[in-house]
A and B are shown apart, each in its own frame.
Chain A
Amino acid sequence: MCLAVPGRVIAIEGEGEFSTARVDFGGVTREASLVFVPDTKIGDYVLVHVGFALNRIDEAAAQDALDALRAIGELDVPPAGDGNAIR
């Protein structure tokens, strides 16, 4: 029930407090109120829950975390062929 889904803002209608975004969730689009994230722009990613964008996704923070995860992979994962070795 607390599921919130990330999507990309493809259009914005209305202005100010009660503006609404059209959000693309990988092919499916839905409306979401922007009342809680009023500075949102087209192209931003937002987290949507029951028709409201709850927050924008911080792309820089997401990238840093993914880079850190990839770095773990490069350090820890044994080369291919070394099947089940876990260090």
Chain B
Amino acid sequence: MRYVDEYRDPEAIRALLARIEATITRPWTLMEVCGGQTHSILKFGLDEILPSRLRLIHGPGCPVCVTPLEQIDRALAIASTPGVIFCSFGDMLRVPGSQGDLLLAKARGADVRIVYSPLDAVAIARQEPSRRVVFFAVGFETTAPANAMAAHVAARDGLDNFSMLVAHVLVPPALEALLSAAGCEIQGLLAPGHVCVVTGYRDYEPIAARYRIPIVVTGFEPLDLLRGVHAAVVQLERGEARVENQYERVAGIDGNSAARRVVAEVFSVCDRKWRGLGEIPRSGYGLSPAYAGFDAERVFGLADLRVAEPTDCKSGLVLQGRLRPTQCPQFGKRCTPEHPLGATMVSSEGACAAYFHYGRTADFVAAEAGA
């Protein structure tokens, strides 16, 4: 497959690894921001073949993982309301709320449907005018244009039985929260390539300058990730701290202007609570005043619901890169993908699930570390 296989070429991977090895003179810690990148790193075993002086920590970039408990509880309350058709991307169905998950609600009779595209939810609203159709709009900047388009089309077509439960989050404010926290160990960032395809990367320039760290826009295939690592290491070794683009085949500095336009029309920036990270000011999108009529929290009167996070799951620390999944006492014991205690075990892009799927058991990690 073009634009996939070339970036998995073993010869080129070996050559780039040798180059990283030749460049690195000191230990460095990088964070890959996006859960898709974490997944690739573990799937292709890049964590095992990179020089041991290079430490990769896994970032908060999985929207499924960071959706707070109370938003799942709102989803459950709406889905269980008679007459509602609740539409969601498949990854959200097994995320535990405080009283079960959407899959359980479905088993108990709620009409929960998995959609591939947000426009599928709009089509259902069109076909079922007597039912209330709610779409669970989760995601980072990557998904915002598609979700915004759903509201745009629903408004254009006058569908008053359609609404959205919005849990949109933004990458730069979360990065600032991590980088400004006491004891932050991150020295360089691999920025999420698919977010930047939409937004571009101008917003990362003040962050690189303020925290004096290199930020490299990076893709998802093994060679993309190694190019990102290499560029970051070169900058660190030289004492530089710039934003650099290593995903130039799809990400431009200004992103996609048509996509950004519909996002600006439908959403406005708001404060958001992140699972594990708490409330971060101006870190998400809510519906803009013109689209407030599509806000499911208002339609169903759930805006005031508040829920505390569970204490036995350490996903908050995992999401900040402060705890490896295998260091959580529940990992692989009480908590598995079959019976997840926390969201980072549910989503295939969550760090806990990625460690579990690719056999990074506690023993394995200890052996790797030479412990």
Q: Write the residues of chain A forming the contact surface with B, with a CB cutoff of 8 angstroms.
A: 1-4, 6, 8, 25-26, 30, 33, 35-38, 45, 47, 49-52, 54-59, 61-62, 65-66, 69-70, 72-73, 75-77, 86-87
Contacts and interface: CB of A to CB of B under 8 A. Distances in A.
B139 A45 contact: no
A73 B12 contact: yes
Contacts of A50: 89, 116-118, 143, 146
A54 B2 contact: no
B140 interface: yes
Query: Chain A contact residues: over half helix, strand or loop, or mixed?
Result: mixed
B194 A49 contact: yes
B36 A55 contact: no
Contacts of B198: 54
Given A2-B139, A57-B3, A77-B18, A51 B256 contact: no
B12 A51 contact: no
Nearest to B12: A69
A52 B194 contact: no
Contact of B249 (A25, A61, A86): A61
B116 A66 contact: no
Interface string B175-200: 00000000000000000101101100
> Looking at chain B, what size class is its interface with the partner chain?
35 or more
Contacts of B266: none
B18 A36 contact: no
Interface in B1-56: 1-4, 6, 11-12, 14-16, 18-19, 21-22, 34-36
B256 A36 contact: yes
Contact of A57 (B34, B91, B117, B249): B249
Going nearest first, the 10 A-B pairs with the smallest beta carbon separation are A51-B117, A26-B1, A73-B15, A62-B249, A6-B3, A2-B142, A36-B259, A61-B248, A52-B146, A36-B258
Q: Which of A2, A49, A56 has the most CB of B within 10 A?
A: A2
